[in-house]
Structure 1
Amino acid sequence: MARAKRGKRYFGSVRELPSGRHQARYTGPDGVTYSARRPNGKALTFDTQGDADAWLALRHSEILLGAWLPPAEPKPEEATPITVREYCEAWLTDRDLEQTTIDHYRQILDDHIYPTFENVAVISVTPASVRQWFAQVARGDGKKVKDRPTARAHAYGLLRTIMNTAVADEVRDSNPCRVRGGGSAKRVKKIRPASLAELEAVVWAIPERYKLMVLLAAWCAMRFGELAELRRADVDTKRGVVHIRRGVTRTKGKRIVKDPKSDAGKREVNIPPHLIPMVKNHLRDHVAGSKVALLFPATSDNTRHMAPSSLYRVFYPAREKAGRDDLRFHDLRHTGAVLAAATGATLAELMARLGHSTPGAAMRYQHAAADRDKVIAQALSDLAGGTVTPIRPAVTSDEQEGDASAATA
């Protein structure tokens, strides 16, 4: 039986969509054409044409009764607030950081920040919740953190930095990290640089191929990563200098050779003359002939970098024989800073020798040698008694030119 033809529509229109559903449209009293929509603004379609017709009839009735109002502008659906994890991951991705730094930050996030704030909306982090986290979670969630205040300070500092970015991005109005002194920590272990006698004892006790490594760490204030990447071409025995151009770091089991963190890290360090014979002997006895040969390679393969564990196997017994079980290899760099400072070197000269770009970084390596205060006191008495002549400050280049002019006048 043929379907009866519908009469001419007197209000609105209905269109069948490719999906088989039906769309209803009409022109309002304001002359604007409207499509059927849900209260949230999304399109409304109908299973059958009859349903669409019924919807149009309701709109037509509203118009006839004078009760029709133009549909309200749909309110945009509120976006789900971004969580701390989501924002932190985006923060890491957006920054040009060394891989070692990324790994360090990610460990801090995974160990100390995400356990508390992972699923919390960035906008919902409050100063009170940060204080509670700092006082109870970051300090008391395990011995690993409780015994290492520096790790807790690093965690707080990272969270504060990320929240500063959130403020700059207008994700939040203010930074909730307001714990006074939260980003700093008192050093738990007081560093005591090795004395010359202790340094000599370590050098005597350590195997021959490691002696120069210990001496350069102390007298030239070099880092382990700089020493491990040092090559034959980096040492100039004629001029008595070592060129520090690169360093090697380990991250996730991989060794990465890279430039120093700052331009100041690339430096030329003069080797104390009394070490030059040992440098020559080491180059002759323990280093391959190639210019790119490592000065301190792995024991099993002289083309591979030495691992810290390989050094510690011989360094720890040597420090015990020197009576310094507390001495870390990096503490020898502190020894180098003390020795350089004892010569009367200025802060700028120390910064250049240690490869620091800021005075604050260099100052962290300044220590008073155990017997220096007694020596200073004696020197002061000698000055008072007139038995010594006060040291003149270093003559500047301008003063030298002035003296030269006076001499020729």
Structure 2
Amino acid sequence: MGRPRAKVKRGFGEVGQLPSGRFRARYTGPDGGRHSAPITFVARIDAEGWLVDQERMISRGEWEPPARQVREVEEAPLLLGEYAATVVARRRIRPGTAALYAKLLRLTILPAFAGQPLGEITAAEISAWYAGMRTTPTQQANAYGLLKSIFKEAVEERLVDVSPCRVKAGTQKERAREIDVLTVDQLNRYLAAVPEARRVPLLLAGWCGLRSGEVRGLRVRDLDLDIGVVHVRQAVVRLKGQLLIGPPKTDAGVRSVSIPPHLLPALREWAARQPVREREALLFPARDGHSPLNDSVLRVAHNKGKAAIDMPGLTVHGLRHTSATLAAQLGATLAELQARIGHSTPNMAMRYQHVAAERDAQLAARMSAFATGRPG
């Protein structure tokens, strides 16, 4: 949906279209105050009709503020399902985000609230709904975040007075387990156990902090071994069962990451053995040589690596955690961590710094134990 239309000048009052597509009517009353219709309208003509009624009451001397006017309003209440569809449709979001929102609406939000008037949904209902998703913490946080943003827009458009989304820390994902982080020795042994054909993409995930989709989206020209940098400009995403190439997960995901220099000789040797391909071709294509690599292919190789270091809970995404935590341990600032791992907010970067601080304390304790001869 496009931008709201400008207010239409009239002899009495004004009608303006809201971002939701509905219309709001307002006028200056005999008391000198500004008054708005108690509801918004689907059609402009209905908003204008309300203003005509108000003007007639003033001319007959029967006027009182709309808040005290007692009359039946035939306008149907705006339902959550209708408004949510409007809000999501007008947002400029990436295809992957649009697919996530559609899934969250279909599975969690609409079954609970689709047929309820927007202004009648209570905080207690939302709290109970939120609590019912406790066994799926990631979905719980994402669904609540989406619903909260929908009500935020409803408040801004004066469709409701206050948002009923008041769950404390509702958008903070409850993590089922701590971040898996490898030591340098574990990372080296992991990579040695990975099949050679898939070693380099997993190496870039572990040492440079790239997401799986970002690694698989790299083009030949994105790996610059002359200056030791990998440029993240696109990513592979799965949408409705298909692998598509699009922008990274966030704007911050577009970045250039320096490769640790000790890896460059091996990477240059690997690059020299690769067939000559166009600069725009995928660096790690599927077997046909041009299609995006399936994430399951990397997982199969990854499983061999994690078995070698006896870390059954390690995920491909866990390699990214390792890179970020190692950078934090070596003194990276929040801004440097955000830039390296491609996060738009410092929240996750702070988590990596916290993990690094804990490990530094453990290291200090072991140093003291060594110095004193006491067990650590």
Partner deviation per Cα, 1:378-400 (whole Å, 9 max, x = no partner): 668999xxxxxxxxxxxxxxxxx
**Counterpart Cα distance in 2 of 1:154 and 1:214:** 28
**What displacement does 1:132 show?**
2.6
**What displacement does 1:263 show?**
4.7
The alignment's TM-score, normalised by the length of structure 2, stands at: 0.73
Partner deviation per Cα, 1:137-162 (whole Å, 9 max, x = no partner): x33xxxxxx43222112222211111
The alignment's TM-score, normalised by the length of structure 1, stands at: 0.68
**Counterpart Cα distance in 1 of 2:103 and 2:252:** 28
Where do 1:89-100 residues align within 5 Å?
Answer: 89-100=85-96
- Residue type matched to 1:104 in 2? L
**What displacement does 1:362 show?**
2.1
Going from structure 1 to structure 2, the CA distance change for 1:359 and 1:279 (only over 3 Å counts) comes to same
Query: Contact (CA 8 Å) 2:218, 2:283: kept in 1 or not?
Result: yes
**Counterpart Cα distance in 2 of 1:158 and 1:323:** 38
- Residue type matched to 1:171 in 2? L
- Residue type matched to 1:310 in 2? V
**What displacement does 1:322 show?**
1.7
Q: Which residue of 2 aligns with 1:238?
A: 226
Task: Identify which of 177, 185, 188 aligns with 2:173.
Answer: 185
* 1:82 aligned counterpart, secondary structure: coil
1:294 aligns with 2:285: no
Partner deviation per Cα, 1:159-218 (whole Å, 9 max, x = no partner): 111111111112111111122222223211211211222212221111111111121111
Q: Which residue of 1 aligns with 2:259?
A: 271
Q: Which residue of 2 aligns with 1:16?
A: none
Query: Contact (CA 8 Å) 1:283, 1:295: kept in 2 or not?
Result: no
Where do 1:45-56 residues align within 5 Å?
Answer: none
Query: Contact (CA 8 Å) 2:213, 2:295: kept in 1 or not?
Result: no
Query: Contact (CA 8 Å) 1:206, 1:318: kept in 2 or not?
Result: yes
Q: Which residue of 2 aligns with 1:337?
A: 324
Query: Contact (CA 8 Å) 1:286, 1:295: kept in 2 or not?
Result: no
Task: Identify which of 207, 212, 216 aligns with 2:200.
Answer: 212
Q: Which residue of 1 aligns with 2:142?
A: 154
**Counterpart Cα distance in 1 of 2:275 and 2:181:** 29
**Counterpart Cα distance in 1 of 2:251 and 2:106:** 32
Q: Which residue of 1 aligns with 2:109?
A: 113
* 2:356 aligned counterpart, secondary structure: coil
1:194 aligns with 2:182: yes
1:303 aligns with 2:295: no
| Range with greater deviation from structure 2 (332-341 or 367-376) | 367-376
Q: Which residue of 2 aligns with 1:142?
A: none
Query: Contact (CA 8 Å) 1:224, 1:330: kept in 2 or not?
Result: yes
Where do 1:116-155 residues align within 5 Å?
Answer: 116-135=112-131, 138-139=132-133, 146-155=134-143
Query: Contact (CA 8 Å) 1:260, 1:266: kept in 2 or not?
Result: yes
Going from structure 1 to structure 2, the CA distance change for 1:98 and 1:344 (only over 3 Å counts) comes to same
- Length, aligned pairs only: 300
* 2:266 aligned counterpart, secondary structure: helix
- Residue type matched to 1:308 in 2? D
Going from structure 1 to structure 2, the CA distance change for 1:331 and 1:236 (only over 3 Å counts) comes to same
Q: Which residue of 2 aligns with 1:88?
A: 84
Q: Which residue of 2 aligns with 1:36?
A: none
Going from structure 1 to structure 2, the CA distance change for 1:172 and 1:287 (only over 3 Å counts) comes to farther
Query: Contact (CA 8 Å) 2:252, 2:343: kept in 1 or not?
Result: yes
Going from structure 1 to structure 2, the CA distance change for 1:262 and 1:171 (only over 3 Å counts) comes to same
**Counterpart Cα distance in 1 of 2:180 and 2:357:** 8
For structure 1, the residue ranges without an aligned partner over 5 or more in a row are 1-74, 140-145, 384-409
Larger Rg: 1
For structure 2, the residue ranges without an aligned partner over 5 or more in a row are 1-70, 372-376
Q: Which residue of 1 aligns with 2:238?
A: 250
- Residue type matched to 1:107 in 2? K
* 2:316 aligned counterpart, secondary structure: coil
1:104 aligns with 2:97: no
Query: Contact (CA 8 Å) 1:193, 1:369: kept in 2 or not?
Result: no
Partner deviation per Cα, 1:322-377 (whole Å, 9 max, x = no partner): 20111000111110012112222222222222223332242244423885434334
* 1:159 aligned counterpart, secondary structure: helix
Q: Which residue of 1 aligns with 2:163?
A: 175
Going from structure 1 to structure 2, the CA distance change for 1:83 and 1:211 (only over 3 Å counts) comes to same
**Counterpart Cα distance in 2 of 1:173 and 1:285:** 65
RMSD: 2.4
Q: Which residue of 1 aligns with 2:54?
A: none
| Range with greater deviation from structure 2 (340-349 or 100-109) | 340-349
- Residue type matched to 1:330 in 2? H
**Counterpart Cα distance in 1 of 2:74 and 2:264:** 71
Query: Contact (CA 8 Å) 1:195, 1:369: kept in 2 or not?
Result: no
**Counterpart Cα distance in 1 of 2:345 and 2:127:** 31
**Counterpart Cα distance in 2 of 1:236 and 1:336:** 19
Q: Which residue of 1 aligns with 2:151?
A: 163
Query: Contact (CA 8 Å) 2:155, 2:162: kept in 1 or not?
Result: yes
Q: Which residue of 2 aligns with 1:18?
A: none
